[in-house]
Chain A
Amino acid sequence: MGAWRDKIEGYIEPRFQVSAIRDFARKKKVPEHRHSFWYFFGGICLFLFLLQVVTGILLLLYYTPSVDAAHESVQFIMSQVKFGWLVRSVHSWTANILVGFLFIHMFSAFFLKAYRPPRELTWITGFLLLVLFLAFGFSGYLLPWNELSFFATRVGTDIAGVIPWVGKALKTFILGGPEVSGATLTRFFWLHVAVLPAFALLIMGVHILLVQTLGMSKPIGTGETKEISFFPEFILRDSLAWLLILAAIGAICVFLPWEAGPKADPFASTPLGIKPEWYFTFMFTTLKLVPAHIFSIEGEVLAVMGFLLGGLFLMFVPLLDRRAAREKRSPVFTAIGLAVLVYIVLMTALTYLAPNIGK
Chain B
Amino acid sequence: MNRRRFVNLFLGGSFIGTAVSFLYPLVRYLIPPRQSEAAVKRILAAKAGELAPNSAKFFRFGSTAAVLVNTSDGQLRAFSAVCTHLTCTVRYEGDTGTLFCPCHNGRFDLAGNVISGPPPRPLEAYEVEVSGGDIYVSRKG
| 14 additional contacts (CB under 8 A) given A162-B86, A292-B120, A358-B105 | A154-B86, A155-B87, A177-B32, A268-B89, A269-B58, A270-B91, A273-B102, A274-B102, A274-B103, A288-B117, A291-B118, A292-B118, A300-B118, A359-B105
Q: Which of B97-134 contact A (CB under 8 A)?
A: 101-105, 107, 114, 116-120
Where the two chains meet, the residues of A that have a C-beta atom closer than 8 Å to any C-beta of B are: 151, 154-155, 158-159, 162, 172-173, 175-179, 183, 266-274, 284, 287-293, 298-300, 356-359
Measured between alpha carbons, how far is A291 from B119 in the docked complex, in Å?
Answer: 8
B88 to A154, Cβ gap below 8 A? Answer: yes
B117 to A178, Cβ gap below 8 A? Answer: no
Contacts of B86 in A (CB 8 A): 154-155, 158-159, 162, 287, 300
Count of A-B residue pairs with CB < 8 Å:
92
**Nearest Cβ on chain A to B38's Cβ, whole angstroms:** 15
Contacts of A357 in B (CB 8 A): 105
Contacts of B58 in A (CB 8 A): 267-269
B32 to A267, Cβ gap below 8 A? Answer: no
Contacts of B81 in A (CB 8 A): 269
5 tightest CB-CB pairs across the interface, nearest first? A269-B91, A158-B86, A359-B105, A270-B88, A176-B32
Q: Which of A159, A172, A298 has the most CB of B within 10 A?
A: A298
> What is the number of residues of chain B that contact chain A, defined by CB distance less than 8 Å?
31
Contacts of A159 in B (CB 8 A): 86
Interface SS, B side: loop
**Nearest Cβ on chain B to A25's Cβ, whole angstroms:** 39
A-B contact pairs, 29 of them (CB 8 A): A151-B88, A154-B86, A155-B88, A158-B87, A172-B32, A177-B32, A179-B63, A267-B60, A268-B58, A269-B58, A269-B81, A269-B90, A270-B89, A270-B90, A270-B101, A270-B102, A272-B102, A273-B102, A274-B88, A274-B102, A287-B85, A287-B118, A288-B105, A290-B118, A300-B118, A300-B120, A356-B105, A357-B105, A359-B116
Contacts of B101 in A (CB 8 A): 270
Give the contacting residue for A183; candidates B32, B85, B103, B119; CB below 8 A: B32
Give the contacting residue for B30; candidates A173, A177, A183, A290; CB below 8 A: A173
